[in-house]
Amino acid sequence: MRARFVDAGGINTRILCAGEGEALLLLHPVGFSADIWLRNIDALAADRQVIALDMPNHGYTDLVRYAGRLPQVLFTEHVLAVADARGLRRFSIAGSSLGAHVAALVYFAAPARVERLVIIGSGSALSSEAELLESLPRTFENGMKAIADPTWVSCRTRIGNICFDPKAAPEEVILSQLTSYARPGMAAAYEATLKGMMDIALLRPHRILERLEAIAVPTQLLWGRQDSRSRLENAQAAALRITDCELVVLDECGHLPYAEHPEQFNRAVGRFLRGNRHARALEARGD
């Protein structure tokens, strides 16, 4: 794995990358960075090129203003600019939580470029408007406790709060998270991001839940059974509406399955990317 900085449409962007060949883009949840994929990048790069990126206002990518735009729309344009900067005509894309909403929007913005889509524990993509209005304030509160006054303990607590077992929180990401949270302007950027995400009127034209039948690319939904941020029932219903879809559920797992159960996650996603899919809407354990 290597760290690189690329110019993506004028935004200085940090990426973590490894491997060669067909490309997979990894998109992190809100308030996190590419480091959250440290347990997955090299494993998934065994037979492909993997690029995990810091979206704007996250990690070590430039801080930008939304200027009245929905954050997910700006992030979608940024992801496509990263793909262009890396010379990727086609790619698969996997996103977690907010990153999954962006991944789906990337598909709708450029369907001919997306090979396969992986949606991981995403309330942003599959929750009703009422559910979002209930869950996003909790997301904001949990994140702001760490971002407003970052310490090792507050950063670790923030991650542990959304894992099934807090001990599964990946220690290896904390120093990078602590450092990125300390960047001048980061707390204000996080607040602007969450406020934009909670603007239902701004969000409504860019929702995914109402467009699931229009997804015409092989899709994997991967959920932690005990995810406190996104309802498994919504994923189960969505799997029946997407034409070419499988659902993989990991037990004793919260909102970060790739960090909590990386070996199971890497097997399940690797299998899917190679085209070896289970039956439609199957619940599996990631094997």
Give me 281's structure tokens: 């809407």
Dihedral, 188, 194, 200, 202 alpha carbons, nearest 10: 50
Those residues whose C-beta lies under 8 Å from the C-beta of residue 10, and which sit 6 or more positions away, are none
**Nearest-CA neighbor of 221 among 138, 120, 147?**
120
**Given this model, what pLDDT does residue 81 score?**
98
59: left (phi over 0), alpha (psi -120 to 50) or beta: left
Return the number of other C-beta atoms located less than 10 Å from residue 70's C-beta.
19
Tens of pLDDT, residue by residue over 177-196, are: 999 999 999 999 999 999 99
Domain boundaries, the chain: 2-273
**Given this model, what pLDDT does residue 141 score?**
86
**Given this model, what pLDDT does residue 145 score?**
85
Residue numbers of the chain with a pLDDT score lower than 70: 277-287
Those residues whose C-beta lies under 8 Å from the C-beta of residue 92, and which sit 6 or more positions away, are 22, 23, 24, 25, 114, 115, 116, 117, 118, 273
Q: Environment class of residue 97 by beta-carbon count within 10 Å: exposed (0-12), middle (13-18) or buried (19+)?
A: buried
* Runs of H (alpha helix) within the chain: 41-44, 71-85, 98-109, 123-126, 129-147, 152-160, 174-181, 186-197, 200-203, 232-239, 257-260, 262-273
Those residues whose C-beta lies under 8 Å from the C-beta of residue 57, and which sit 6 or more positions away, are 63, 64, 71, 186, 189, 190, 192, 193
Whether the pTM exceeds 0.75: the reply is yes
**Given this model, what pLDDT does residue 278 score?**
55
Those residues whose C-beta lies under 8 Å from the C-beta of residue 104, and which sit 6 or more positions away, are 95, 117, 119, 125, 208, 215
**Given this model, what pLDDT does residue 281 score?**
44
Dihedral, 64, 179, 145, 62 alpha carbons, nearest 10: 10
Is there a contact between 166 and 224 (Cβ–Cβ < 8 Å)?
A: no
Q: Environment class of residue 249 by beta-carbon count within 10 Å: exposed (0-12), middle (13-18) or buried (19+)?
A: buried
Give me 138's structure tokens: 């909790």
**Given this model, what pLDDT does residue 102 score?**
98
How far is Cα of residue 115 from the mean position of the Cα atoms in its chain?
17
CATH of 2-273, one of 3.40.50.1820, 2.40.50.140, 3.30.830.10, 3.40.50.720: 3.40.50.1820
Mind giving me the DSSP string for 150-207?
--HHHHHHHHHTTSSSGGGS-GGGHHHHHHHHTSTTHHHHHHHHHHHHT-HHHHGGG-
- Rounded Cα–Cα distance for residues 270 and 73 (Å): 28
